[in-house]
Amino acid sequence: MASKVIHAIYTDDDLLLQAVKQVREARYRIGEIYTPFPVHGLDKAMGLAPTRLAITAFLYGIVGLAVATAMMNYIMIEDWPMDIGGKPSFSFLQNMPSFVPIMFELTVFFAAHLMVFTFYMRSKLWPFKTAENPDVRTTDDHFLMEVEVANHNTEDLTEFLFNTGASEIKLIDNK
């Protein structure tokens, strides 16, 4: 992270989205953006790589399906076979139509619960973690763009950000 950053505050999400495009075209580096709600298209405007969370959700679903299959095979076929409603208990495949709801539910259960843990770990949201929000107004109705100063002239960058529609700009020295 750069030693100096500029916090540009915007009051409209469309204005922020347009400003992000202008800042990236001018080859300034955006460190982070804080918004009170998700802004559609912001990840693409920032040039962020697509998320791989969907792949992990699919893998977690496969794990849930495997656990459901192994659990039902052990409980209903191997450990305690029962003749329920005239259905034979000779093999898992003969009973699979009656097991489909359980397999579906455990697939969804594993995918959903493990995705919550994955999201918190990926976002570094640990229990009792202090907030990293630089301006409390970004939880209500303001948007904050953190631009790294690096080797750029601070006055020129400040003027450029005001021209993009920023309502307030602060120079922050991170030490």
Q: With H, G, I as helix, E, B as strand and everything else as coil, classify residue 84.
A: strand
Residues 102 and 75 in one domain: yes
Residues 34 and 68 in one domain: no
Residue 79 DSSP label: I
Give a yes or no: residue 147 inside a domain.
yes
Give a yes or no: residue 77 inside a domain.
yes
Q: Are the beta carbons of 103 and 65 closer than 8 angstroms?
A: yes
* Model confidence pLDDT, tens digit, residues 141-151: 999 999 988 77
In whole angstroms, give the CA distance from residue 20 to residue 16.
6
Give a yes or no: residue 137 inside a domain.
no
Residues 117 and 152 in one domain: no
Task: List the domain range (segments joined by +) for residue 114.
Answer: 53-123
Give me the pLDDT at residue 87, please: 66
Give a yes or no: residue 29 inside a domain.
yes
Give me the pLDDT at residue 88, please: 65
Residues 58 and 45 in one domain: no
* Model confidence pLDDT, tens digit, residues 97-154: 888 999 999 999 999 999 999 988 988 888 888 888 888 888 889 999 999 887 778 8
DSSP per position, 94-108: HHHHHHHHHHHHHHH
